[in-house]
Amino acid sequence: MKERIRQLLEDALPLVDFDSDFLFRELDSLGVTTILMTLSEEYHIKLDAKDATPKNLKSLDSLVALVESKLAKN
Amino acid sequence: MAFSKLVDYLKRDAEIYPEKIAAIAGSEKITYKELYAKVLERSAKFKKGEVVAFRSSQDIDFLITYFAIHQAGAIAAPLEKDIPESRFKEISEMISSSSVPEEVADILFTTGTTGKSKGVMISHRTIVSNGENLIEGQLFSHNLLFIINGPMNHIGSLSKIFPTTMLGSTIYFLEGMKDLDLFFQALDYPADKVATFFVPATIRMLLQFSEERLASYKDKIDFIESGAAPLPHSDMLKLCEVLPNTRLYNTYASTETGIISTYNFNDGRCTPGCLGKPMSHSKVIITEEGKISCKGDTLMTGYVNDPLLTATILRDNTIFTSDLGVLDEEGMLHIKGRESDVINVGGFKVAPTEVEDVAMSLPEVKDCICISVEHKITGRALKLLVVLKEGETLNKQRIARFLKEKLEAYKVPMLYEQVESVKRTYNGKMDRKYYTNNNQ
């Protein structure tokens, strides 16, 4: 799942370094929106603004954890 | 009482509303009295007539620097916060050796209607006229809290400090909209009325991810202005439904023309493409070719160091834009499109040639064209179609990061595609119309 998410997000946001542990700092509002929309479409999960926390968007690993927790709730 | 300079209004605010909060940014707050004192102190750093280029920031320090430059009789040239250092130096050197008319207050860099980045000279009179247009057209008031969430080198955000200073209102700075919790915290700030400006992509984001939460502020949000790029009609209708008591404005403005007209689309008609009636300092005339031209006190003085380019759009106290429009029987302006190669991405204008010139300096790129395509979030996005030299493979990240080193971030395409060739017209020019017609 991690590599699939990386591929999707790198495609959508080519300027962002998804290896960074300070991902949230690198993003702008467009980047945050793109990540939420891309993940919700790919995994059919409902994401909203409350999910867009600095903690959830800290790194690629934290994004994977966010998707996994949403899928588990589904 | 009317003053000729914005900084004179600030002085007045410090005298009659000394303890009123002028601005808030994060945990920092500053009163009008404190702000004016800091402005006076910092103004000693600047010389009369000097052009001061500086990186803009969405905070109190920006306000102090901006007003201090005006207080000293110098000219403010706020640049993009993350502008590459080489470009910052290039622009600083260019403007420091320029001859600038005495009435000029600011130089704002934008992609001119004819292409590359140009320094637009704005006079003190223009600033005050823009402020008066906004006060009258959108009913700014003294007890309003205005949330600025965009870059201060862009007229969309910068212009909001004009009416707020003229009325002694309060500004709340946000560094962008990526943390929506911070935006809702700003809405929670104790104030009678709150207003803000959003580019269309932010409205899309709020409707997509925070519709219910936004709706809970329906009685507190006095008005929201959108502009800079077309707002999809579906988003206009949705926003009217979510915020039935809020005035929702679509505005016709540019750095060159100033703020010309505004339309409250929450009027029961929600007319797409309507930009309202010209405001009191502005007049709109539609040319024989159907293009929008503007007259009045909000127009720029000209492009810095470029009288020839200035003359291409500013003649007889009139700015001739590339926007196609009509005035209806009520005198309302309606925009019908744009006749220019310049691409509008989320409110930022980009000359495709500028992107192509930089991309062509990459060794693996044989040819390329920068086009605009539909995008689900931003409305439009830049896409670079690349012809690679033999044996090379497309590396999007490498191209994007190379472009980011040389250009402002908003000029870097989000999308990349390898193509066999770039379509050209019979005389060898890039066939931009072909790509426009095939990528709607």
**Continuous segment of H or E residues that includes residue B239:** helix B233-242
Report which DSSP code applies to B212: H
pLDDT at B376: 78
Rounded distance between C-alpha atoms, residue B8 and residue A59, angstroms: 48
Instruction: Supply the range of the domain harboring residue A65.
Output: 2-73
Domain's final residue, options B304, B338, B372: B338
How many other CB atoms are found less than 10 A from the CB of residue B232? 13
pLDDT at B97: 81
Q: Are residues B257 and B164 in the same domain?
A: yes
CB–CB contacts below 8 A, A to B = 66
Q: Are residues B287 and B359 in the same domain?
A: no
Q: Are residues B61 and B143 in the same domain?
A: yes
Q: Does B177 touch chain A (CB under 8 A)?
A: yes
B381 closest CA partner among B372, B390, B389, B391: B372
CATH number, domain with residue B393:
3.30.300.30
**DSSP character string of B143-205:** TEEEEE-S-TTSHHHHTTHHHHHHHT-EEEE-S-SS-HHHHHHHHHSS-SEEEEEE-HHHHHH
Domain's final residue, options B317, B338, B359: B338
The ipTM is 0.78
At a CB cut-off of 8 Å and minimum separation 6, what does B257 contact?
B282, B294, B298, B299, B300, B319, B321
- The per-residue pLDDT of chain A, averaged, comes to 88
Instruction: Indicate yes or no: CB of B377 within 8 angstroms of CB of A33.
Output: yes
Q: Are residues B24 and B169 in the same domain?
A: yes
In Å, how far is B208's CA from the nearest CA of chain A?
A: 8
Chain B nearest-CA residue for A18? B397
A66 closest CA partner among A4, A44, A57, A19: A57
pLDDT at B439: 61
pLDDT at B113: 46
**DSSP character string of B308-354:** HHHHHHEETTEEEEEEEEEE-TTS-EEEEEE-SS-EEETTEEE-HHH
pLDDT at B116: 63
Rounded distance between C-alpha atoms, residue B238 and residue B234, angstroms: 6
- Best to test chain A binding among B80, B180, B181, B199 (most A CBs inside 10 Å): B180
Domain's final residue, options B295, B317, B338: B338
pLDDT at B45: 97
Do the domain assignments include residue B36? yes
Residues of B in contact with A50 (CB under 8 A): 181
Instruction: Supply the range of the domain harboring residue B360.
Output: 343-438
How many other CB atoms are found less than 10 A from the CB of residue B210? 20
Q: Are residues B357 and B332 in the same domain?
A: no
Instruction: Indicate yes or no: CB of A54 within 8 angstroms of CB of B208.
Output: no
B270: left (phi over 0), alpha (psi -120 to 50) or beta: left
Q: Are residues B177 and B58 in the same domain?
A: yes
How many other CB atoms are found less than 10 A from the CB of residue B403? 24
What domain count does chain A have? Answer: 1
What domain count does chain B have? Answer: 2
Residues of chain A numbered 55-74 and touching chain B (CB < 8 Å): none
Q: Does B216 touch chain A (CB under 8 A)?
A: no
CATH number, domain with residue A17:
1.10.1200.10
pLDDT at B427: 66
Instruction: Tell me if residue B34 falls in helix, strand or coil.
Output: helix
In Å, how far is B396's CA from the nearest CA of chain A?
A: 6
Q: Write the CA distances from B159 to B97, B140, B251, B350, integer angstroms.
A: 26, 12, 12, 21
Q: Does B208 touch chain A (CB under 8 A)?
A: yes
Q: Are residues B334 and B366 in the same domain?
A: no
Instruction: Indicate yes or no: CB of B414 within 8 angstroms of CB of A12.
Output: yes
Residues of A in contact with B386 (CB under 8 A): none
Do the domain assignments include residue B1? no
Query: Averaged in consecutive runs of 10 residues, what is the pLDDT profile of chain B (440 residues)?
Result: 92 98 97 98 96 95 98 96 86 86 94 67 97 97 96 93 98 90 94 93 86 94 86 89 96 94 96 94 94 96 93 95 92 83 79 88 91 83 92 90 88 92 76 72
CATH number, domain with residue B143:
3.40.50.12780
Instruction: Indicate yes or no: CB of B176 within 8 angstroms of CB of A24.
Output: no
